[in-house]
Amino acid sequence: MNATDLLANTLSADANTRQDATLKLENASRENYPEYMLMLSSVLVDENSPLHVRNAAGLALKNTLTAREAGRSTEYANRWMNLSTEAKTKIKNDALLTLGSSSQKAGTFASQVVAAIAAVELPVGQWGDLIEILLGFVNAQTNVNLRIATLQTIGFICESIKPEILTLRANEILTAVIHGARKDEPSQQVQLAAIHALYNSLEFVRDNFEREVSLIHDRYRVVPTQLQGERNYIMQVVCEATQNPDVAVQVGAFENLVRIMGLYYDKMGFYMEQALFGLTVVGMKHQDERVAMQAVEFWSTVCEEEVDLAIEAQEAQEYGESPETESKHFAKIALPEIVPVLLLLLTKQEEAAEEDEWNISMAASTCLSLLAGAVQDAIVPAVIPFIEAHIKSTDWHHREAAVMTFGCILEGPDPIVLTPLTAQALPLLIDMMADTNADVKDTVAWTLGRICDLLIQTIKPDVHLHALVSALVGGLADEHPRIVSNCCWALMNLAEQLGTFDSEQDGPPQTGPLSPYTEGVVQALLRVTESAGNEHNFRTAAYEAISAYLSGATLDSIPVVQNTVVTILNRMEQLLAMQNQILGVDDRNNWNELQSNFCSVVMAVIRKLNAGIAPLADRIMTLILELIQGAGKTSTVLEDAFLVVGALAAALETNFLPYIQAFLPYLYPALKAHDDTQLCTVAVGIIGDISRALGPQAAQYASQFMTVLLENLQSEVLNRNVKISILSGFGDIAMAIGPSFEPFLETTMSLDYDLMDYVGQLREGILEAYTGLVGGFKGTEKVSVLLPYTESILELIHRCSVDEERTDAQMKLSYGLLGDLAEALQGSPQLKQLLLKPWIAQELRTKHRMPAETNKTRRWAKEMVKLATQ
C-alpha cells in the first residue's frame, strides 16, 4: 500500500481500517523515522494529492514533533534534532513551500508543521532565518494564501514559544501582524488571519504593551509618528477591526479585546474612556449572536478582574499595605449602560436549549452573575424593577428571564440587603415550581437551590420548609432530566446548609427541622436513582443528595441511615454479580459510575455512624474487595473503593485489624502505580488512615509501609505531589507507632531533600513528617533519640521563616513543630543551646499581619521555648 492510500485510510469511517492504517504508520515511524518523515513531507507538498490526504500528512508530521507529556515531547524533539541536516532542510522547505499552496487549507496544515518545527529548533538556536523568511512572506502582496498561512504560522509560533526566545524579533513580528490587521488591508481573509495571529501573540508582545514610545517598524508605513505609543496603535487597530464589514473579523477583534482586558487590565483606563465602553455596549446589541457573545464576554472578563482585585485589596488592607493593582471600577461606572442590555439578552432564550450549546442568553446570565460579584449591592436596584415587571409575565421568555435575574444576583450583594427580597420572593418561587413551561421550572429549581446554598437564613422552617420540600420532591418526578438534576441539587444544598445553620449544640442533635422529611426525601431520591439513564447527571445528583441527608441526619433519623446503607449494599452486590454481562464501553462506564456513587453513599454512612458501622463492616469489606478485583485498572473506581476502606479504618480503629491482611495485596499494586498520580496519592493516604486507626498496633506493618514509601520517594517518574503526600505519611506512621519508629528514624531524617529541585513545594510535607516524628516520640522513654536530629529540624524551620515565598500553612506548621520539639525535649542542655539562637527569639516575637490560628500556634510555641530555655 502506498503512502497516499495509507494516509487516506487513517481518516476512514471504518474503525478497523482506520486502526490498521494508524498502526502501520506508527510502525513506519519507529522502524525508519527519516524515511517516514520525508514521505509525509512529500505528500504534504504535493499539489496533486487529495486535500484530505495532505491534511492527514500534515497532522502526522505535527504529531511526530509535539506531545502534551513533557517526557514524550523531549523524546520527539531529540529524535527530530538527530535527523540529518539534508532531511530536516527538505522537510522544512516542503512545509514553507506549502504555505503558499493554491489550497488555503493546505497552507493551514503546513502552518502547524512549521510552528511545530520552530518550537523544537528556535529554543536551541536553530533555524535562525525562519522569522526573516516569514516576514518576507507576509510582505508578498501578490500571494494572498501565502500571507494568510504565514500569519497563521506566526500566531502558532507566538503561542507555543516562550517570549524571551524571540525578544530580538518581537517588534518585527508585531509589525507584520499589525500590518495585516489594519483597516487598510485589502484582503479581509488576510485581516482575519492577522487578527487571529494577534490574539495568539498578545502575551508574547507584553513588552510592547508596556512601552510608551513606539518601536514598531515603519517598513509598511502604517505608523503615523514615532511618538505614538505601540499600545495605542495596537488598540486602534483592534478597535477599528470591531467595525469591519466582515462578521468573522469583528468576532476576532472582540476576542482580542477580551484577552487584552484579561492580560492588561491596568493599562485600559484611557481606552475604556475613549472607545471600549461604547464599542462593547453596541457590540452586545449586534444582530449576529457571535459578535454579541464576545462583547458580553468582554464585560464578564472585566467583572472577573475586578472581583479578584477587590479580594486582593481586602487582603492588602488587612496587612496595612496598598494593593499591587487598584481596581478602576469599570463595571460600576458602566452599570447603567450594560444592565439594560444584559436583561434584554436574557429574554433571547432558545426553548429546551442544551447546556453545551452556548447562546447569548446563557452568556448574559453568566455576565450578570459576575457583575453582581463585582458591583455588589449596586446591582440590586438596577435589576429589581425588571424582576417585578416580568416575573408574572404571560410570555415565558420574560418570566424565565426574571427568575434567572434573581438567581444571578444572590451572590455578591450583602445578605442583609438580599434577605428581605428573598423572603418576599420565596412563596412565589415555590409556587412557580408548578409552571407549565419546562425552562421556567428548571430556572426556578436552580434559583431555589441557590437560595438554599447562599441564603439559608431566609428559609423559615415553620413558614417555608413544608412547601419548599414538597415542591422540590415533586420536581423529582418531572420528565425533564435537567429539572430533576436541579431539584436534587437544591435538596442537597438544603440538607447541607440548614443542618449547619441550625446546629448550635456541641453533640449530635436529637432532632432537627428536616427530621420529619428525611425518610420521605431519601425514598424519593432512591426512586430517582433507579433510572437506567443519567442525562444531565440527574442520577449522580440524586446519590449526592442522598449522601447529604444521611451525613446530616439527626439521632431520630439514624434508622433511615441504617436502612439506606443496606439498600445501597444490596445494589452494589447485584451490580457486582452483573459485571460478566457488560458488553461495551457504555455499559462499563455506567457500571463504573454507579459503583462510584455507591461508594460515596457508603462512605457518608461510615463517617456518620462511626463505630456504629461495625455490624456491617464484614459485608462492606467483602464487597469492596470484590469491587477492587472487578474494577481492573479503572482508577476512579479504585480510588473510591480505597477511600471507603480509609473511612472504615478511621471508624473502626483497632477493630480494623482483621481486614488488613486481605486488603494489603490490593494496596501495594496501587502504591506502585507511578503513572497514575491520583490513585497513588489515594493509596499513600490509606497508609496514613490505617496507621492512625491502629495506633501502636500499626508497628507490625511499619516495615512494609516504610519500604514501599521510601521506594516511591526515590522514583524518578512519580509525580512530585505524591512525594509530598509520602512525607506526610511518614509523620502519620511515626505518630501512630511512637518509639517503634526508631528503626526508620535515621533513614527518614537523612533523606537529601535538597536534591529535589522543588524543595520549596515539599516543605509542608517535610514539616508534617517531622511533626509526626516528634509527636510519636514525645512523652516516651526513647524521646532522646531525636536529639541528633534537632539541629537539622531547626535548620528547616529557619529556612522556612526567612523564605520570602513562605506560606501561612508553612509558618503554622513551623511554629507547631518548634513548640513540639521544645516540649518533647524540655530539660535537654543540647536543645536549650540551640533554642537560644537569636533567630528563634526574633521569629517568635509578636507578629502582625498573621492569621489568628497561626498566631495562636506562635504564642504556644513561644511559651514552650521559654520553658525549655529556663
Question: Is 100 found in the same domain as 209?
Answer: no
Residue for grid cell 446548609: 497
Determine, yes or no, domain membership for 69: yes
Q: Residue 399 pLDDT > 90, yes or no?
A: yes
Residues above pLDDT 90, as percent of the chain: 47
Asked whether residue 70 falls in the same domain as residue 163, the answer is: no
Residue 226: per-residue pLDDT: 37
Q: Looking at residues 446-471, what average pLDDT do you find? A: 94
From 75, 107, 127, the end of a domain falls on 127
pLDDT at position 846 is 63
At 529 the pLDDT is 94
The predicted-structure confidence for 408-437, as pLDDT tens digits, reads as follows 999 999 999 999 999 999 999 999 999 999
User: Do 106 and 183 have their domain in common?
Assistant: no
pLDDT at 753 over 80: no
| Interval 853-870: pLDDT, tens | 888 888 898 888 888 888
pLDDT in tens, 660-705: 999 999 988 888 888 888 888 899 999 999 999 999 998 898 888 8
Stronger pLDDT, 750 or 869, i.e. the higher one = 869
- For residue 96, the model assigns a pLDDT of 92
Indicate the residue type of 183. Answer: K
Q: How many CB atoms lie within 10 A of CB 85?
A: 7
- Is residue 755 over pLDDT 80? no
Residue 164 in any domain: the answer is yes
Model pLDDT, residue 98:
94
Residue 24 lies in a domain: yes
Phi-psi region of 248 (alpha: psi -120 to 50; beta: other; left: phi over 0): alpha
pLDDT value at position 751?
Answer: 64
Residue 33's SS3 state is helix
Tell whether 172 and 230 lie within a shared domain.
Answer: yes
Tens-digit pLDDT profile for residues 459-505 = 999 999 999 999 999 999 999 999 999 999 999 999 999 876 555 55
Residue 198 inside a domain? The answer is yes
* pLDDT for the residue 629: 87
From CA 733, how far away is CA 712, in angstroms rounded? Answer: 16
If you write DSSP's letter for every residue of 77-121 in order, what string do you get?
Answer: HHHHHTS-HHHHHHHHHHHHHHHT-SSHHHHHHHHHHHHHHHHHH
Section 494-517 average pLDDT: 79
Q: Does the pLDDT value for residue 1 go beyond 60?
A: no
Same domain, 38 and 147: no
Output the average pLDDT for the chain. Answer: 87
Which cell numbers hold the place of 97?
513551500
Instruction: Looking at the structure, tell me whether residues 144 and 235 fall in a common domain.
Output: yes
Instruction: Give the pLDDT band (50/70/90) at residue 21.
Output: confident
User: Is 26 within the bounds of a domain?
Assistant: yes
pLDDT at 501: 55
Q: Is 355's pLDDT higher than 80?
A: no
Count of domains observed in the chain:
2
Contacts of 577 (CB under 8 A, 6+ apart): none
Q: Are residues 35 and 86 in the same domain?
A: yes
- Does a structural domain hold residue 227? yes
What local confidence, expressed as pLDDT, does residue 216 receive? 44
Same domain membership, residue 160 and residue 181: yes
Low-confidence winner among 492-506, 747-761, 777-791 (lowest mean pLDDT): 747-761
Q: In the predicted model, what is the mean pLDDT of residues 603-624?
A: 94
What's residue 690's pLDDT? Answer: 92
Tally the residues of the chain: 870
Same domain, 58 and 150: no
Query: Rounded to whole angstroms, how far apart are CA atoms 295 and 390?
Result: 25
Residue 11 has pLDDT above 80, yes or no: no
Label residue 96 exposed, middle or buried (CB < 10 Å: 0-12, 13-18, 19+).
buried
Of the candidates 241, 257, 275, which is a domain's last residue?
241
Per residue in 288-322, pLDDT (tens digit) is 999 999 999 999 999 999 999 998 888 778 767 78
Query: Could you tell me if 19 and 102 lie in one domain?
Result: yes
Confidence of residue 352 (pLDDT cuts 50, 70, 90): low
Same domain? For 233 and 143 the reply is yes
**What pLDDT score does 503 carry?**
52
- What's the pLDDT at 19? 83
Answer yes or no: is 196 within a domain: yes
- Write down which residue in 181, 210, 241 finishes a domain: 241
Average pLDDT over residues 112-136: 89
Cβ atoms 647, 685 nearer than 8 A: no
* 118 shares its domain with 138: no
The pLDDT of 160-188, averaged and rounded, is 83
Instruction: In whole angstroms, give the CA distance from residue 336 to residue 326.
Output: 22
Q: Which amino acid is at 732?
A: D
Cell of 734: 511515626
404: pLDDT strictly greater than 70: yes
> How far apart are the C-alpha atoms of 542 and 594, rounded to whole Å?
12
Domain holding 1, by residue range, is: 1-127
pLDDT (0 to 100) of residue 253:
95
How far is Cα 698 from Cα 694, in angstroms, rounded to an integer?
A: 5
Selection from 67-71, 141-145, 165-169, 209-213 with the highest mean pLDDT: 141-145
